[in-house]
Amino acid sequence: MRPRTASLLASLALLAGCAAGDGWSGPHTPPEPVGVLGAGFVEPSATPSPEATITPEPGSWDGVRPSPGYRVVLLTAGEDRPTKTLVAAVRQWADDEDVDLRTVVADDDLVGGITDAMAMGPDLVVSAGNDLVDPLTTVTASHLDQQFLVVGAELAEPTGNVTAVDWSGASFRGEGLGASSTYDPASFTAGRCAAAVRAGVAAVLHDLTGIVVWID
């Protein structure tokens, strides 16, 4: 075999191996929402201002799901019960909606975990775990092209690419602010966490980002 031919075949084999190992390496159609927000999700006459808090009517997000091929990275840190409940809710939602979900566990390197999640090229990074709040504050402002959804916590000063979902009993904000005076781990029920994931994703899919979605 000629050297040039051998080199070409080796290159093709390497490319094939990369493609086979990473289904996200090929072309990707930007995601779109399937379905519309229900009445009461947001005031139809006004777009929420940056860092605003909206309080949608319960269930007004139920008719929205992502288009096929939606790529999501679940970024998680911590072994506490609220975090585990959030992780289970994200995985159940992804299974129900046939979302292409990958998981990054960042317990040993929080900033490195965020970087790894972004490097995968997802449509959305969903964060679960209070330990990630301060590292996300450090990283997200420098990567405005990547959308983040923080569930059960929020950044003190989020940029337009960071959306949060909170409720009474959640709202950890980091930066020395810690948990609110009403923080209650028992409020992280399976039902509330499931609703939070769906409400947050519905907001992101409809470009209502950089805000806090309050679901009480």
Encode pLDDT of 130-170 as tens digits: 999 999 999 999 999 999 999 999 998 899 999 999 999 99
Q: Which residues pair with 172 in a beta bridge?
A: 153
**Angle between helix 133-140 and helix 110-119 axes, rounded to 10 deg:** 50
Alpha carbons within 13 angstroms on the beta-carbon side of residue 184 total 8
Pairing of strands 162-166, 212-214: parallel
Q: Which residues of the chain carry a pLDDT beneath 50? A: 1-21
DSSP 70: -
Give residue 152's region: left, alpha or beta (phi > 0; psi -120 to 50). left
CA 79 to chain centre: 19
Q: Which residues pair with 165 in a beta bridge?
A: 151, 213
Q: Is the pTM value of this prediction over 0.75?
A: yes
Domain 54-214 has CATH 3.30.2350.10: no
